Structure 1
Amino acid sequence: MNKHLENKVQLMPADEKDLPLFKKELQESFTKGLIENLGDAEEGPIPSDEDIEQSFNAPGAVIYHISLNGEKVGGVVLRIDTETHRNSVDLLFISSKSHSRGVGTLAWKAIEEYYPDTEVWELVTPYFEKRNIHFYVNKCGFHIVEFYNQFNPDPHQSSENKHQDNISSLEEYEFFRFEKVMKK
């Protein structure tokens, strides 16, 4: 356990009434990361309200607050498939005030413990998010298995976004896909 943390990180199910604040905090966290990496944020919240709602309402979606000593310090939206045991992380955030304290790593360990039947975890993160890439590869044991870009589009991305002519717009859709194999 990280020396800076004396207490336990826990997952707490989010209630329907919690979702507007959850969404706001998630967007603040993601927008801050975008500004830190690219120096600018697009118009509108990142991720969009539509993208977050889609994650909230996806089949198998479960939404948790991440808490430290009972204080909410982040959140996660998971997609759990009880038949295939291939689960995914749709959205995960830790508030900036809790960065570099080991909270994310402990939260990931809690997720793994909560879903011990998972055979493979999967997630996607933007190419420029070095902090995320470091976290998932070096702290959580994920491997980059695919790079989505204009030549290899994400099959889950809408066709409207796949056919954009503007290169800078296409860069917005460059992501790494990660996997972590839990059981063989």
Structure 2
Amino acid sequence: MRRLVVRVCLLLCAAGAAHAAPGGTERSMEVVLEPASGDVVVVADLTIGTDGSYRLRYRDAPFAPHFLSMRPFQCLPAPPRLQCHLPYPYENGRRITDVDLGDLEYDLLFLVKQADEFGVDFWNGRYYRLAWEDDAIVGVAMATDMNILASSPPEGETRPIRNNDLTAIEPSDTPYPTLRIRHARGEQQ
């Protein structure tokens, strides 16, 4: 029985790192937002280490700085709206596996607002539910109230947004309904 438990553990551990770094090397990917129609926008670069740790660096372009609700935001124009990156304010382990992309989901939070509005409403959040699709990571935009992040997370909890806090939305109701993390240009797949 003990050997079976050890084998299962080894299989699960190996599966958890399978997408992290094939061939035991670090890999570079790019994060793109896809509108319902039109060109994709490359917004960040992602480096995944052999142990599943990652580094995410947002690009300066195509974002534009906006000062909304008394704080700075980096926003993408999507007339007549803006989609603004919302940095996650709490601890994040920045590690992914085949079965857990939660840390990365929290690094990819956004708010949507009308471009002609002065402030930003945290209730109009976008949370990309991520999943592996072959050798890419694909996220579907879900609506959520980001006011949940206004108060500190419960003791010991670093992921306060729950499944019941997320609502499916029609692709036409958000500027970028899909987020895709794909191999960076020039990297072998």
Normalising by structure 1, we get a TM-score of: 0.28
- Higher helix fraction: Structure 1 or Structure 2? 1
Higher gyration radius (CA): 2
Q: TM-score, normalised by structure 2?
A: 0.28
